[in-house]
Structure 1
Amino acid sequence: MSDLLIALRTFIRLVEVPSFSRVAREIHASHTTVARRLDLVEAHFGVRLFHRTTRRLVPTADADQLLVHARTMLDALDLAEADFGPERDQPHGLVRIGLTTALGLHYVERLGELARRYPGLQIDCAMTDWQRDVVEDRLDLAVRVGPIGDDSLVAHPLGRLARRLVAHPAYLAAHGVPASADALTGHQCIAYAYGDMPARWTIDGRERLVKGLVRSDNSEAVHRAALSGLGIALLPAIRVAGDMAAGRLVPVLPDSVIAPLDIFAVHPSRRRLPPRARIVLDFIKAHFPV
């Protein structure tokens, strides 16, 4: 690939993440190399692309305009390489996926099938329960809880994720079994929430504030707290099915209605996905929990 094309890819990334040091780490190059590539693009087009200070890197109006052309050109090149290059017959390379913890663990347990069929693929699972920025974090795909609310992302509906209220038998033996959703206010509820946001559970069509000794912004932490007998938790059914079958957790208010979560796969462009990312998207769709 020509030096200018490589430099344009670096320029695009600098606009997305205006940091020489971060881009240098991502592409395994030196700060000087990144700066030289930017100099090459500026010299070729005869424009200044960033205002540079000791603390900030701010794209200019020319950078915003060039960014549109650079992305269009490199997207077209990527598609041509997908159609005529070696990936056409045997997709290979890195695919970065943003996943929630519960769904990430679900898919990781099933990746063996994908690895056997496409040994040239590398899957990087970025698992967090907050929504990563797809562009800034260089994700090829991300699994999101809807609604998406971002017109720049292409969304593929995956399905609906059921949830269950559960608790350890020892907790219920010590504190009693709630007879209704209203009775949850008198129980230790293991809240899944972020920062200072209050935890709310919608049960039987009514939203209720819940609280307890433990809260976390990670669903696996909530899961383990429930297994430790610390209270009642609201968790994805896929995470607690095995525990319920083994008696480690038991259902709470099993006849209550808890709305499932709408789940989508998203990617950051309306162009056709490269074959390696398309294969992973198809795998995600095929193995969505039912």
Structure 2
Amino acid sequence: MSDLVQNLRTFVRVAERLNFSTVAAQSHASHTTIARRIDQLEAHFGTRLLLRTTRRLALTREGERLLDHARAVIEEIDHAEADLGGAARARGVVRVGVTTALGLHYAERIVALHARHPDLRIEFAIADWQDTLDEAGLDLALRVGDPAPEASHASTLGKIARVLVAAPAYLVAHGAPATPADLLAHACIAYGYGPARATWDIAGQQWRVRGPFRANSSEAVYRAVASGLGIGLLPQIQVSGDIARGVLRPVLPEYGIAPLMLSVTHRYARMRMPARVRIVLDFLAAEFPNGPNPD
């Protein structure tokens, strides 16, 4: 039975990555060992689970059907082990999709979580534009915006304050705006991509801004602003240190700026959430920049 469970775990990893070499490296096993486990699983169920060529791997229909069963079996085993062994024995991999600014924020605090749960492994997929949970094989995914009413497998984490900032060199060269309307005459470095102009919500009004650079990465926007290219609207956690050091200066600080609402989505709507995932979810809530959500 233990071999079957191990083979199922390997199958899930291979199905999510479709690459034997990647799974072998992450499992600290040889390519041959990973392939043998899949062979044993196919022999056990009497069907082909993967289509293998020299160029790619793909799941067969039977493999797709087994994947759901394998995940459910593994989650139940992990839950039983955590339940009988206590929270300190929670172990396994938890994959989290997270935005750039929050990913860096949490990465600086994972050391405390690791100290409490040394058998947990956490993998961050950091991107401001996330894939779906199923496509990325994520356990948890942070999203900008309130969870949809029908999303019973999502909850609100909290709000992220945002601030307008610019490098001192830019303000010396171009002056500081006195009102939000003045932003229309400034180089505004916005987050986004595509033909539509960026819109900033300031003082309860929408301002359509423009500038010489735009990106779908808050880190890219931050670096452009820090270089003196223009004024940017960025998460406060991303720039608070620079503001304190005088590397960046707040712009229009007396005007209210709508915060970003962050929610977290998971893929356990129809099954019990494993202890390892619950521990990480609790960590995300407890270490949220503004503290845990009061609700």
Question: What is the TM-score with the length of structure 1 in the denominator?
Answer: 0.81
Letter in 2 for 1:155: A
1:64 and 1:115 map into 2 onto residues whose CA distance is 33
What's the secondary structure of 2:253's corresponding residue?
coil
**Residue 200 (structure 1) aligned to one of 174, 198, 202:** 198
**1:145-178 Cα deviation digits (max 9, x unpaired):** 23567x8993231011121111123312221223
Q: Is contact 1:153-1:267 (8 Å) kept?
A: no
**1:243-289 Cα deviation digits (max 9, x unpaired):** 33444333323354533212122333233333343223212212212
Letter in 2 for 1:200: A
Q: Is contact 2:144-2:261 (8 Å) kept?
A: yes
2:151 and 2:73 map into 1 onto residues whose CA distance is 18
Q: 1:125 to 1:72 in 2, by over 3 A?
A: closer
Q: 1:202 to 1:78 in 2, by over 3 A?
A: same
Deviates more, 1:233-242 or 1:139-148: 139-148
1:116 and 1:5 map into 2 onto residues whose CA distance is 27
Shift in Å, 1:234: 0.8
Query: How do residues 27-42 of structure 1 correspond to structure 2 at under 5 angstroms?
Result: 27-42=27-42
Letter in 1 for 2:284: I
Shift in Å, 1:30: 2.8
Aligned to 2:247: 248
What's the secondary structure of 1:156's corresponding residue?
strand
1:19 and 1:276 map into 2 onto residues whose CA distance is 25
Aligned residues: 287
Aligned to 1:274: 274
Letter in 2 for 1:35: A
Q: Is contact 1:192-1:199 (8 Å) kept?
A: no
What's the secondary structure of 2:232's corresponding residue?
strand
Letter in 1 for 2:228: G
Query: How do residues 1-290 of structure 1 correspond to structure 2 at under 5 angstroms?
Result: 2-85=2-85, 87-92=86-91, 94-118=93-117, 121-132=120-131, 134=133, 138-146=137-145, 154-194=153-193, 200-203=198-201, 204-206=204-206, 208-212=208-212, 214-270=213-269, 271-290=271-290
2:48 and 2:93 map into 1 onto residues whose CA distance is 33
1:191 and 1:263 map into 2 onto residues whose CA distance is 19
1:91 and 1:67 map into 2 onto residues whose CA distance is 23
Q: 1:239 to 1:138 in 2, by over 3 A?
A: same
**1:97-138 Cα deviation digits (max 9, x unpaired):** 333221123233444543554455554444333325545655
2:88 and 2:112 map into 1 onto residues whose CA distance is 18
Q: 1:31 to 1:51 in 2, by over 3 A?
A: same
Unpaired runs of 5+ residues, structure 2, are 291-295
Unpaired runs of 5+ residues, structure 1, are none
Q: 1:153 to 1:25 in 2, by over 3 A?
A: farther
Question: What is the TM-score with the length of structure 2 in the denominator?
Answer: 0.80
1:115 and 1:11 map into 2 onto residues whose CA distance is 26
**1:61-112 Cα deviation digits (max 9, x unpaired):** 2222222322222222121111123x54454555443332211232334445
What's the secondary structure of 2:154's corresponding residue?
strand
What's the secondary structure of 2:288's corresponding residue?
coil
Q: Is contact 2:15-2:59 (8 Å) kept?
A: yes
What's the secondary structure of 1:177's corresponding residue?
coil
Sequence identity (%): 52
Shift in Å, 1:19: 2.9
1:94 and 1:58 map into 2 onto residues whose CA distance is 23
What's the secondary structure of 1:289's corresponding residue?
coil
Q: Is contact 2:166-2:248 (8 Å) kept?
A: yes
Aligned to 2:293: none
1:131 and 1:205 map into 2 onto residues whose CA distance is 28
**1:6-51 Cα deviation digits (max 9, x unpaired):** 2222222333333333333332333322222222122112222233
Q: Is contact 1:191-1:199 (8 Å) kept?
A: no
2:151 and 2:5 map into 1 onto residues whose CA distance is 24
Letter in 1 for 2:77: L
Q: 1:10 to 1:258 in 2, by over 3 A?
A: same
1:223 and 1:91 map into 2 onto residues whose CA distance is 37
RMSD value, Cα: 3.2
**1:188-226 Cα deviation digits (max 9, x unpaired):** 2223335x56561333442524222x4444323432432
